[in-house]
Structure 1
Amino acid sequence: MQENHLYEYAVIRIVPKVEREEFINVGVGIYSKSTRFINMRYYLNKEKLKAICPDCDLEEIEKNLDSFKRICKGAKNAGPIGQMDAASRFRWLTATRSSVIQTSKTHPGFSKDLQKTLDCLFEELVL
């Protein structure tokens, strides 16, 4: 029987105009300390984003989301933050910030299959 793993997740959001507090969910990041699992998925719906923010720089937003992905995976080209341990990378990615890309507060859960849980959260909260 598979073991249940405690995990944390956060929703990744695009907040085009921080002062308006409007956002679009574009991704989900997940982390489990016991398995050192960390991963994220994102999808940038460009039409939806352009509808609420016609002057936003889609290319720049996509570059930043790709950076989030590289940091999450601990890629060699993710800079010094990408070289930190999984817990530190997740904490950095989910830190409160006042920028175009933000995350929700973290939420806990239990899962027997962390990748499947990430996929389910992504489907439910983003798509």
Structure 2
Amino acid sequence: MPKSSSKKPNSPVQHLFEYAVIRVVPRVEREEFINVGVILYCSGLKYLNALHRLDVEKLRALCSHTDPDELERYLQALTAICAGKTEGGPIGQLPLASRFRWLTATRSSVVQTSRVHPGFCTDASETLLRLFGQLVL
């Protein structure tokens, strides 16, 4: 008698992914922050990407002296690093895993990330959009 497989035929392959929430912390000493984006890395799909949206009204309510244009440039730099663009500098030229680890390293600056969280997905882009909607919008 043949053994039955526990895996369903034609079921999509689940890939391990990791993500972190991008936060703006206008006054680090107060530890108040605004979620402004998500970075998602999936080794199995060779995927690294970030989405961000800076809510200027929230930012001004939390800390009126913070320059939204400057923050937007920082956030665009993160996206360039994810994409491996030359605008991402030397860090943008590293392998995907190294870029993700650099982007999510603990730092005490105005732009920070949460700790890294794992999950499983079949489509990394779709998962990034879903997390962005849940955690930022």
What is the aligned length? 127
Matched, 1:7 2:17: yes
TM-score by length of 1: 0.98
Residue of structure 2 equivalent to 1:65: 75
- Aligned runs of 1:21-100 on 2, under 5 Å? 21-100=31-110
Which amino acid in structure 1 is aligned with residue 84 of structure 2?
A: G
Measured after TM superposition, the shift of residue 75 of structure 1 is: 0.5
Structure-2 separation of matches of 1:26 and 1:42: 5
1:65 shift after superposition: 0.4
Partner of 2:119: 109
Q: C-alpha separation between the residues in 1 aligned to 2:56 and 2:27?
A: 16
Query: Structure 1 residue 77: deviation in Å?
Result: 2.0
Runs (4+) off by over 6 Å: none
CA deviations over 1:36-64 (Å, ceiling 9, x no partner): 11011000000110111000011111100
Higher relative contact order (CA 8 A, sep 6+): 1
C-alpha separation in 1, matches of 2:102 and 2:46: 15
Which runs of 5 or more residues in structure 1 are unaligned? none
Larger Rg: 2
CA RMSD, Structure 1 to Structure 2 (Å): 0.6
TM-score by length of 2: 0.91
**Residues of 1 paired with 2:44 and 2:17: CA distance?**
8
Structure 2 unpaired stretches of 5+? 1-10
Q: Percent identity?
A: 55
Matched AA of 2:133: E
